Chains A and B, each alone.
Chain A
Amino acid sequence: MKMDKVLFGDNQFFAVNHLSDEKSREQAIRFKDDAAIIRVLDQAIDLGINTFMCTTHDRIANICDHMRANPSRYKDFNIFPCMPYAHKYANAVTDLGIIGAVRQYVPGNIFSTFTKGGFAFLQKDFIGLMEIFIDAEMKMFKGINTPVIFIQNVIVDMILGLNMLEVFKEYDAYIRKKFNAEPGYITMNMPLLLDSLNSVGIENPIICSSINKIGFRMSGGREIYEKYLTEKTLRPIAMQVLAAGALRPKEAIEYLGKFPKIESVLFGASSKSHIQETKEMIEANL
């Protein structure tokens, strides 16, 4: 499946702003109600955007409810889920420890969830545990098109750093088998990730990473990213293309035009004119 050139992101809805905590707060106030999020999403859809790439934030569940309740409006609309919403777990780990966090977030009664000997057994069955977590995170998207399913960069880069590459292989296989979807990877370390995925037999992966003219959040430097974008086999999605606001949209998106392999650009915006302008610029340059 070819991905849309334009992927609409969700940072603006959930007070994620890499430049300013103050702007984050303004966003949190503006998008306090789900209706405000849906209004902006609808504007994006009316402008011809067909894919929403979002974290598995609790509030996305409400957006999914709205979509299921209005099937005719959203039947061709795609969501690319990105799991997990890491802060939820990170705060729980600080508060409850790793086991405590697992207990809190594994759905339902743990003894009914784990039939084969309960929780103790599952502690050793990591892949089983991973599958249960994926299922729990994917529950909110039931009945919605999710052709690509991503793991968030915190988890990808943790597994990558720890060199536990078999985990990627298992994730890849599970997403294809269970959800009939393409697995995707978000990372801050694209070149290392691609080499590592290739080393466990994952070819031509969908990788979403920072790609911008000033090398912001491009670990190892811009040059190696450019080399990989030109020479290697992958399906890149560009994010943080404006380098958190340090670049003007025009120069930022013209830069992406130098790399024909880039399949999609992820961006978020809150105003109709801003969405339209960015979308047109991406389509003109990609």
Chain B
Amino acid sequence: MKLKAGVIGLGKMGLSHAAIVSPHPNVDLVAVCDTSSIVLDAFRKFSKVNVYTDYVKMIDSEKLDLVVISTPTRFHYKMVKYALEKGIHTFCEKPFSLTTLEGQELEILAAQKNLINQVGYHNHFIGTFRELKRLLKESVLGDLVHFTGEAYGPVVTKEKGGTWRSDPVEGGGCLFDYASHVINLIQEIIGVPVKASGSQLKKIYSKDVEDTVYSILTLQSGLTGVLSVNWSDETYRKMSTSLTVFGKKGKIICDATEIKIYLKEANPAEKLEKGWTIKYITDFAIPVNFYLRGEEYSAQIDNFVDCILKNRQTEINSFRQAVLTDKVIEILIADSKN
């Protein structure tokens, strides 16, 4: 028996999720939901899935095992809540919620109902970032001194536009869209930020939302580092995310394609030489059955489905972890207003 799936929200991420869920060997994509007529008409015309404009109707009419929610952030709360109440395993796009109160409520509800819950922080399914996490756990850098988390890309490079991403009330802006990824990486790989200082949310081309996010983050451990994110940087062809970690024994620079390790002394246990070692994604890519835009997008859905089939909660990107990220976003916004 295949699991029955629905997708709510057919923007760029939703279409991509639908295209990945549909060919999954253990899943049948049975329904999609959106408000855009052009996208729904395409599904009506070319595919066999049932089409809805109302997610409540979709959930009530279809007997879904799982749902993927990829709508603007402000809709997440009511949609995730409804799905959970109906006993449906839920994958939700990032950022998870606009307020941590709402996020925590959903986290508790999912736990009470014993439903698998996951959020789309897909960088954790990129092999290089996993390797960085492992190396830090093995303390190859010794005591940590500093970190830098960065993301740059060309989303808003002109003074115009007007989707939900340019509306702060809907969860738009560089902080929610781009910086959330970096914050979540820092939180899961280096440590949970508990304080932000000197935070600057700057507008470059957008009228109502920030295009850059700069801040100094303090982690639970007391370690501090820099967050530097800019979605109006056209020197990048696409979103480019990286972490640099500096420790007493050396430093590591990691992005989606390579991990560069510099050690003051060799680490025989890890077969790392003194000086630079460079490793590539080809050594760490997670094998997938279907590829669209990157292994990580399929691997995260594979993980979600696997957790449902085995009835075990995900260790990666649970609602709980996503709420932690939302909390840091709140801290950062509060600091920027000081």
Contact = CB atoms under 8 A, between A and B. Distances in A.
B321 to A, nearest CB: 24
Interface in B15-40: 15-16, 18-20, 22-23, 36-39
Nearest to B12: A93
A164 B280 contact: no
B42 interface: yes
Interface stretch (A95-103, A140-148, A231-239): A95-103
Given A164-B42, A246-B282, A157 B291 contact: yes
A91 interface: yes
Interface stretch (B116-124, B139-147, B155-163, B219-227): B155-163
Contact of A95 (B18, B155, B283): B155
Contacts of A94: 12, 155, 163, 165, 177
Interface string A113-128: 0000000000110100
A95 B165 contact: yes
Nearest to A220: B289
Contacts of A21: 240, 242, 255, 257-258
Interface stretch (B45-53, B90-98, B330-338): B45-53
A96 B41 CA distance: 20
A161 B23 contact: yes
Contacts of A164: 42, 46-47
A239 to B, nearest CB: 13
A243 B282 contact: yes
B198 interface: no
A100 to B, nearest CB: 7
Contacts of B156: 95
Contacts of A243: 282
Contact of A158 (B16, B240, B289): B16
B20 A161 contact: yes
A161 B290 CA distance: 8
Given A94-B177, A95-B165, A219-B298, 6 more contacts: A18-B281, A20-B257, A21-B242, A91-B155, A98-B39, A164-B42
Interface residues of A, number: 51
A87 B237 CA distance: 7
A90 B12 contact: yes
Contacts of A214: 282
A245 B43 CA distance: 39
A271 interface: no
A66 B162 CA distance: 38
A192 interface: yes
Interface of B: 11-12, 15-16, 18-20, 22-23, 36-39, 41-43, 45-48, 154-157, 161-163, 165, 177, 235, 237-238, 240, 242, 255, 257-258, 280-283, 285, 287-293, 298
B290 A189 contact: yes
Given A163-B22, A214-B282, A246-B282, A154 B292 contact: yes
Nearest to B153: A91
A154 B289 CA distance: 16
A216 B18 CA distance: 24
A113 to B, nearest CB: 16
A21 B280 CA distance: 11
Interface in A18-46: 18-21, 24-25, 28
B36 A244 contact: no
Closest 7 CB pairs of A and B: A161-B19, A164-B46, A188-B291, A246-B282, A219-B291, A97-B163, A95-B161
Interface string A139-173: 00000000000000010011011111111000000
A87 B45 CA distance: 26
A261 interface: no
Contact of A87 (B165, B238, B240, B280): B238
Contact of B22 (A18, A161, A219): A161
Most chain-B Cβ atoms within 10 A of its Cβ — which of A99, A163, A245?
A163
Interface of A: 14-21, 24-25, 28, 87, 90-91, 93-100, 102, 123-124, 126, 154, 157-158, 160-167, 188-189, 192, 214-217, 219-221, 243-246
18 contacts: A19-B257, A19-B281, A90-B238, A91-B154, A93-B11, A95-B156, A98-B39, A99-B36, A158-B15, A158-B292, A160-B19, A161-B22, A161-B290, A162-B19, A163-B23, A189-B290, A216-B282, A244-B282
Nearest to B154: A91
A19 B258 contact: yes
A187 to B, nearest CB: 9
Contacts of A192: 23, 290
Most chain-A Cβ atoms within 10 A of its Cβ — which of B23, B155, B240, B283?
B23
Nearest to B242: A21
Nearest to B20: A161
Nearest to B177: A94
Given A19-B257, A124-B41, A161-B22, A96 B162 contact: yes
Contacts of A161: 18-20, 22-23, 290, 292
Contacts of A189: 290-291
B287 A221 contact: yes
Given A95-B165, A158-B16, A246-B283, A126 B42 contact: yes
Contacts of A99: 36, 38
Contact of B38 (A91, A98, A246): A98
A192 to B, nearest CB: 7
A18 B23 CA distance: 25
Contacts of B37: 123
Most chain-B Cβ atoms within 10 A of its Cβ — which of A95, A98, A166, A214?
A95
A79 B43 CA distance: 34
Contact of B292 (A19, A165, A188): A188
A242 B178 CA distance: 32
